Amino acid sequence: MNFASTIPARLGMPPLIDYANWAEGVVVRSAAEIRVPYKRGFVRAIVKKKAKRFSEEHAVYESATRWDSARDARGDATEAQQLELLTLEIQALATPNRVQNAISKLGPVEHDQKERVKELLAMTKQDVTEEIEQRCADELAALRGGIERLQSVLEHECKSAIIEFFKQRAAERRRLARAASSSSSSNSSTTTATTGTSSST
């Protein structure tokens, strides 16, 4: 799935310069409400398909899923295996895209704003924690120890995701600055050439 969003044009917004405004994904809802059983009751059936470029999960999650399926075939997991699975889940969920989503809720954050970065870290950790609690409620409930280790992994992976996010954003800003400079130089050359032609005439 890879297509440009049509929403900005519908809202009268100008197109982005130099690259497409890619759609994050699609959401499909039934015309008549359909409710399906879930872990904590019934929820409305909604199908979401997100483009890979906007995924909040690393590819490592696929291996975690395969591992979990194999574990189900063998029987109950040991506590060490549960810790391994939960660690993989955290590593898969702590991504720059998730940091971006946290910023969309928190507001603009720059890398040198220490207090704002702390708030961003706290929000990112909370976001990952909430998803882990939904996905791995049984594993967490059965876990007798290792919580401190998981907290340490959560802290480290979320910090790494934030650092990577700022690196990617800085690189994108440099790219846009170069593109703007190149466009400005091109326009200036065109204006000079036009002026010269007019003078000759």
SS3 string of the chain? CCCECCHHHHCCCCCCCCCCCECCEEEEECCCCCEEEECCEEEECEEEEECHHHCCCCCHHHHHHHHHHHHHHHCCCCHHHHHHHHHHHHHHHCCHHHHHHHHHHHCCCCCCCHHHHHHHHHHHHHHHHHHHHHHCHHHHHHCCCCHHHHHHHHHHHHHHHHHHHHHHHHHHHHHHHHHHHHHHHHHHHHHHHHHHHHHHC
> What does each of the 201 residues of the chain score in pLDDT, given as a tens digit?
667 777 667 667 777 665 567 676 776 766 666 777 765 566 666 676 766 655 555 554 444 454 454 444 444 557 777 788 888 889 889 999 999 999 998 999 999 999 999 999 999 999 999 988 888 888 788 777 778 889 999 999 999 999 999 999 999 999 998 888 887 776 666 555 555 555 544
Please give the pLDDT value at position 66: 45
Please give the pLDDT value at position 137: 82
β-pairing, 35-38 vs 46-50, is unpaired
Please give the pLDDT value at position 100: 92
pTM of the predicted model, to two decimals?
A: 0.60
pLDDT digits (tens, 9 = 90+) for 73-83: 444 557 777 78
Please give the pLDDT value at position 86: 86
